[in-house]
Structure 1
Amino acid sequence: MTEKLTTRLRRLTSQPDACVMAPGAGDAFMARMLARAGFEAVYMSGFATSVTRLGMSDVGLLTASEMLDNTWRIVDASGLPVLADIDTGYGNAMNVLRTVRDFEKAGAAALHMEDQVSPKRCGHLAGKRVIPAAEMVSKIKAACDARVDADLMLVIRTDAIAVEGIEAAFERAERYREAGADMLFIEAPVGREQTERVARHFKGVPLLYNMAASGKSPDIPADELGRMGFRLATFALYGLLAAIAPIERMLGELRRTGTIGHLRDSMATFKHLNEIVGLPEHQAAEARYGVPEDEQTRL
């Protein structure tokens, strides 16, 4: 029997002293690249989704339906366990009931929900606000009640460090754990010292570490994070960040010279692109199902 994606992620994040790396994907293409690269999990980042779908920053403009649609596309394209960002749950506890049910049906292996006021914003942007802890506790309880698959992991995030201080963030996270959080996500610890405080305070509790690009939280290798007690590490935007400079260079050269002939050797080939998006498998299926040769797809 094939192992469920929810069960697989539970198993992977239960390994002692190990931290699963989940790079960010905002679309199905990046999700395919992550699977081809050998990663074991994907993070459907709200920021990456906002960039790729809206061309905008993560400032609470995406709707639940847009994120839901993106979740099932990324699950389908990658075949990997996907941690889906469900922001604030898109409303109160009653909205959370529907949100969790819908994202579970879409195939997410884990969901992370935060305690920000709506409209939320990226956890590494200034000006965040948080809802009362008691309100968040009710939303967590609703999320726990909503799931059908007990292996669906609920990752509960607090953004309180930047708003109320680290001690308040610890108090909130303790309440969230008691309410049913499977994993805690203490967002945006500043520097190594705060990161180590988080790990010490919640020793023995599964933790998520967000390797964000803002520079607030330090770059720490996954094996070291695992020893500290972090069981899942997300890398939300690094695929996009790595692509921006070469794309800008190519566009600048095209605008300046009117040709890309001199750049071809520095770019992926059309054949390689089609390998990533599964054209060979499509061609094999055409042959297997007897599609006439004159109708078969060819490079």
Structure 2
Amino acid sequence: MFNASSKTNIRELLANAGSRPVVSVGVGDAMSARLASVTEGIDAILTSGFAISAQQLGLPDVEMYSRTENVQAVERICYVSGKPVIADMDTGYGNAVNVIKSLHEFERAGVQGVIIEDQVSPKRCPVCVDTTNVIIPKAEAVGKIRAAAENRRNLETLLIARTDAVEFDEAVSRAKAYREAGADLVQPISRLFSDKADIRRFVDAVGCPVSLVVVGWLEGLSKEDLAATGASIVHFALVPVTAVHHAVGQVMAQLGRAGSAEALEAVRSPHTAIVKDMGMESIGVLEEKYLPRESEL
């Protein structure tokens, strides 16, 4: 188990990153968060709506879960995470007033930051659909960001404002407006860009810290390429969930064909490794410290 006080502050990470972006990885469950927490080179954890939908519900990311279900998943992740957690807060679950309540719920769950997007509700993850998503009027979106910025219970909570605008000038205009409303970082969607030069152009145009989700063709960019974009934080949102999907699907197919686990080809972790990584050693330490010996009963 991890102590929340051991977590690095996300604002300190961003302030001290230098020329390289802060690296975040998307997770949809607490086991993935534990593994990310002990992995060198990963600075922070993103609770990915796509991954939560897939791993918790077995459904696509089209806001099929409620705010309560999202918060519950995030709370479990925060409890075991040794690194700062940023939550995908979707559209904020209502209007600007609802956003305030939503933000407080996620703050209470233990996050150090949230992402709020400007889609209509129910939202649709851009990687789940081929069409352009419908976004709310800019004034309404600005109100949501301002409401969040002015009503944080923790003044350190990081606000990332995402725009799903796919026309470059509109995306820049919205990003600037969200920054003026109080967002700490702005986040475009990958569909806005056709190459890495486009990303740099966006970063330069908005003139403020940018959060970049690395999905689709962006996963082909090198560490040096990502640093050259000028993004302040990069989120590898889908790498873990796509790896889990492939690995579990592969071993299920092999087990179904063989009817036995004797000669499975898929590589699996020994159960002892899982027990260790889930923190059984710390449980033993706590038992030794707090539970009475049989002779004392």
TM-score by length of 2: 0.90
1:78-115 superposed Cα distances (whole Å, 9 cap, x missing partner): 12110100000100011011111111111110100000
Runs of 4+ deviating beyond 6 Å: none
Is 1:222–1:233's contact at 8 Å kept on the other side of the alignment?
A: no
Gaps of 5+ in 1: 295-299
Q: CA deviation at 1:70?
A: 1.3
Name the residue aligned to 1:146: 151
Name the residue aligned to 2:87: 84
**Rounded Cα–Cα distance in structure 1 between residues aligned with 2:258 and 2:225:** 47
**Rounded Cα–Cα distance in structure 1 between residues aligned with 2:27 and 2:108:** 19
Is 1:156–1:183's contact at 8 Å kept on the other side of the alignment?
A: yes
Name the residue aligned to 2:123: 120
1:210-252 superposed Cα distances (whole Å, 9 cap, x missing partner): 011x33x453334443343211111112112123333222222
For residue 149 of structure 2, what is the amino acid of its counterpart? C
Equivalent position SS for 1:261: coil
Q: Give the alignment partner of residue 47 of structure 2, picking from 44, 48, 52.
A: 44
Equivalent position SS for 1:262: coil
For residue 141 of structure 2, what is the amino acid of its counterpart? M
Identity across matched positions, percent: 32
Name the residue aligned to 2:56: 53
Number of matched residues? 286
State whether structure 2 residue 76 is matched by structure 1 residue 64. Answer: no
State whether structure 2 residue 278 is matched by structure 1 residue 277. Answer: yes
**Rounded Cα–Cα distance in structure 1 between residues aligned with 2:5 and 2:254:** 48
1:49-103 superposed Cα distances (whole Å, 9 cap, x missing partner): 0001110111121211011111111111112110100000100011011111111
- Bigger drift between 217-226 and 56-65 goes to 217-226
Name the residue aligned to 2:199: 195
RMSD: 2.1
Name the residue aligned to 1:258: 259
**Rounded Cα–Cα distance in structure 2 between residues aligned with 1:84 and 1:175:** 22
Q: CA deviation at 1:191?
A: 2.2
**Which residues of 2 match residues 1-299 of structure 1 at below 5 A?**
8-15=9-16, 16-38=18-40, 39-124=42-127, 125-127=129-131, 128-161=133-166, 165-188=167-190, 189-192=192-195, 193-203=197-207, 205-212=208-215, 214-215=216-217, 217=218, 219-263=220-264, 266-292=267-293
Gaps of 5+ in 2: none
* Structure 1 pair 265–172 and aligned structure 2 pair: CA distance change class (3 A): closer
Equivalent position SS for 1:29: helix
Is 2:251–2:266's contact at 8 Å kept on the other side of the alignment?
A: no
Is 2:210–2:231's contact at 8 Å kept on the other side of the alignment?
A: yes
